[in-house]
Chains A and B, each alone.
Chain A
Amino acid sequence: MKLKKLTVLSSDEISTINSASVELLSTIGIKIDSPSARQLFKKNGAEVNDNDLFIKIPEPLIKEKLKKAPNSFKLHGPDGKFNFEVNTTSTQYATIGTPVKIYDPSKKSGVRKTVLADTIKQIRIVDSLKNINCSHIDVWPNDVNYLSLHAHCIYQWVHNTRKPYGLGCLGRLASQDMMNMASIIVGGEDELIKNARFIGFMNPTSPLYLPQLMTNGLEVFAKYKQPTIIAPEALAGATAPVTLAGLLTQINAEIIGGIVLAQLFNTGAPVFFGTVSTITDMKSGNAALGSIETGLITTAIAQLARFYNIPSRGPGGITDSKVLDVQCGFERLQTLLVAAQAGVNYITCAGTYEETLVEALELLVIDDELADITKRLIEGINVNEETIALDVIEKVASSSKKGVNYLSEAHTRKFMHKELYIPMLIDRNRRSTWRKKGSKDIIGRAKDKVEKILQSFNPPDVDNEIENKLLDYIKEVESRTLENYKKAEGISTGSVSLPGADITIKDE
C-alpha cells in the first residue's frame, strides 16, 4: 500500500482550531490598511473600523468565500505547452525563497552577492529539472534597479524557460506590469486569464495584518486569476503564541482572511492555503525554518487545507545552515520528507539554504533528486501476485547454476525502475571507483550536473514582435520613480495612471 499520510491533528482538533480562527476573525478581526479593501469587506457585510483598521468578518461570509476558492487549477509555461495541475491530492515541487547571495566556494565567506546572470542560471536549471516545476524570482538580481526588477525578471523568464513563474504580489503597479508583460507574451489578457502563467506570493504579516502593498498586488493577481500563495511566516514565541496550537489558530485566521479577500476581489480566484511559519530560536530570536517544528506546523496546515478543500503550500528542503554541511543535509531532508508525507500539494524552497537567504545551484539539482526519493517513499510497497514473484524465486533458486542471481531476469528489468529509485547524484560506488571518479562529494557531483545543464541549455525562441514590445515596456518601467510607485499604492498623495489596467473586476 501507499504510505499513510502523516497527520498531527485529529478531526476534532481541526474543528477546534477552525472554530477558534473563525472566532478570532469575527470578534477581533484582521487589520487591513487598504481603504478600498476595507470598503469591499464593508460592502459584503463585514464590520469595519476605520480607526484601528480592523475588519471583523462574519462567519457566514467566511464559509461562503472559502467555498469559492477552487480545489484545482493549472499553471502554464510562457508558450502554454508545459503545464501542471495543482490540486488537493497531488504534490508539486518548486523553488521560492529570497536568496540575495549565492554559494561561491572561491570566496573566503563561501558566498557572494547574486546578480542577474545567477537569476538566469537558476531559471534555466529549473527548466531542465524533472521534479522542480516552477521558479519564483528566488535569486535576487542585485545588479538590477529594484524598481524595475520584476520587468527584467519576466523578460528573462520568457527567454529562459518553458515552465511557469512565480512573483511577489508587490503592489498594484508592479503586479499590473507583470500582467501586462505576460499578456504581451501569451497573446492577450484573455489567454492569460484562461491559462495562468504566474504564481503570486502574498505574505500576511503576523499577527493578523494584511498589508496594503500585498493586498494591492493580490487584487491584481485575483483579477487575472493568477494563483496566489497566501502564506504567513509567523514565528512561534515572537509573532505568534509559542504554543503551536495558538500559532496555528492565528495563521489559519490570517490565511482565511487573505483567501476571503481574494474571493471578494474576484470570485473563483485560485489560491494556495499556505504557510512558511515556524518557531523562534530562543537563543538568537531568529526564525528556525529547518526545525522539526516547521514540519509539525506544515503538516497541520496541510490538514487544515484539506479541511477547507483548497490546495496547500508548505516549505520543504529548507535549512538554517550557513554552509553545505550535515545540518544542511538533514534539515532539508527532514523538512522535505515531512512535507511530502503530510501531503502538501506545493512544496517549495528548493535550492536554498540559510533560511532561504542563500542559493546554491548545486542544492537545486540535489533537491530534484530528493524529490524523487520522497516520491519513492510515498509509493510504499506494492503487494500482489506479480510483485511477490513466487515463480521467479522458484526459477532462480532452483537453478542448477552455482552463482544464481536475479539480475538478468525479465522480472528484474520489468520492475527495477518502479521498485527501486536509481539515484544519479548519490554515490554508492566502492571507494576505489569513487576515487577514480575524482573523489567528489555530492556537492562536487551536483556542480558537474549544473555545468552540464548550463552548457547544453537550449533557450526558447521569442518572437521579434514580442521581444520589441517587452523591451519598450521595460523602458517605460525604468522611467518611473519611487514616488510613482508610492502614489500607485495609495501610500503617497496624488495618483498615477496604471498602464493597461482597464480590466473589469467580476464582483458579486
Chain B
Amino acid sequence: MTLEDKLKELISEWDEDGLKELCSTSIESKEAKPSELLKIIGKIMQFIGKQFEDEEIFLPDLIGSANIVKNVIDDILDPAIRQSGESKETLGRIVIGTVEGDVHSIGKDLVGSFLFSNGFEIYNLGEEVSAATFVDKAEEVGAQIIGLSSLITMSMGFQREVIKELNSRGLREKYKVIIGGSPTSSEYADEIGADGWADDAIEAVMLVKKLLGLN
C-alpha cells in the first residue's frame, strides 16, 4: 500500500485520528515533506470531488471527508509547513460564510467542501456572519475571494452590506465577491455589484477559477 493509498483509505473512512497520526509520523520519519503530504491529500480530495460530481458518492461522504481533512491541515500540516519554512501551494484563498440573518449552512458547506476538494484554501466562517467579520478575515488571511451565501429571501440584502463594507474601507478592488443561494441570481449579483454568481457547487468552482484566471 502506498502512502497515497493509506491516506485515501483514512480520508474515505473519516478516520481523523488515524490521518493525523499518519501525517505526523510521515513528517517525522522524513517519508514525506508536509507540502508533499498536502499535495497528495489535495489530489485525493480532487478525486473525492469528482466522485461526488459523478454521483458515485453523496453529500455526507464529501462534506465529512472535507471536514476531517480541513482539521488535519489546520492542526498538523499548516504548522509543520510554517515550521519548515516551506511555502504552501494553493490555487487561491477563499473566505466563505452565510450572511447575517441566515443560519442555513448546507449549501454553503457543500460549496466550501467542493472548492476545498478542488485545491482551494477555504476559510468557512459559519453562519450569521457580519459584513465586518467577512472583510476582517479576508484581510487577515490574504484571501482573493469572498463568497457570500444566503438561503432566505430576507437575508439577501445583507450580501449587499458586505460590498458596502468593502467600499467604505476602500478595499473593493482588492477582492472578488461571489454570491450564491436559492433566492439569488446572476441578475441580483449584477444589481448589488458582486463579481459573480454560481448556481451550485460545481459552477462555483468554475466561477472561482475564471475569476482567478486559472482556466
Contacts and interface: CB of A to CB of B under 8 A. Distances in A.
B63 A407 contact: yes
Interface in B1-27: 14
A403 B106 CA distance: 8
Would you call the interface of chain A mostly helix, strand, loop, or mixed? loop
A412 interface: yes
Interface in A387-412: 401-405, 407-410, 412
Contacts of B126: 401-403
A63 interface: no
B64 interface: yes
Interface residues of A, number: 18
Interface in B113-168: 126-128
Contacts of A430: 182, 199-200
A404 B105 CA distance: 7
Contacts of A402: 103, 105, 126-128
B59 interface: yes
Contacts of A410: 14, 64
A432 B184 CA distance: 12
B170 interface: no
B47 interface: no
Nearest to B59: A407
Contacts of A436: 199, 203
A284 interface: no
B61 interface: yes
A413 interface: yes
B82 to A, nearest CB: 27
A403 B104 contact: yes
A422 interface: yes
Contacts of B199: 430, 432-433, 436
A404 B64 CA distance: 14
A130 to B, nearest CB: 15
Interface string A202-229: 0000000000000000000000000000
Given A433-B200, A436-B199, A405 B105 contact: yes
Nearest to A432: B199
B103 A408 contact: no
B58 A408 contact: no
A339 to B, nearest CB: 29
A147 interface: no
A416 interface: yes
B35 interface: no
Nearest to B110: A407
A407 B200 contact: no
Nearest to A413: B60
A424 interface: yes
A407 B106 contact: yes
Given A401-B126, A416-B60, A424-B55, A407 B109 contact: yes
Given A413-B60, A436-B199, A405 B106 contact: yes
The 4 closest A-B pairs by CB, nearest first: A403-B105, A403-B127, A402-B127, A408-B64
Given A403-B127, A424-B55, 9 more contacts: A402-B128, A403-B105, A403-B108, A404-B105, A408-B64, A410-B14, A422-B58, A430-B199, A432-B199
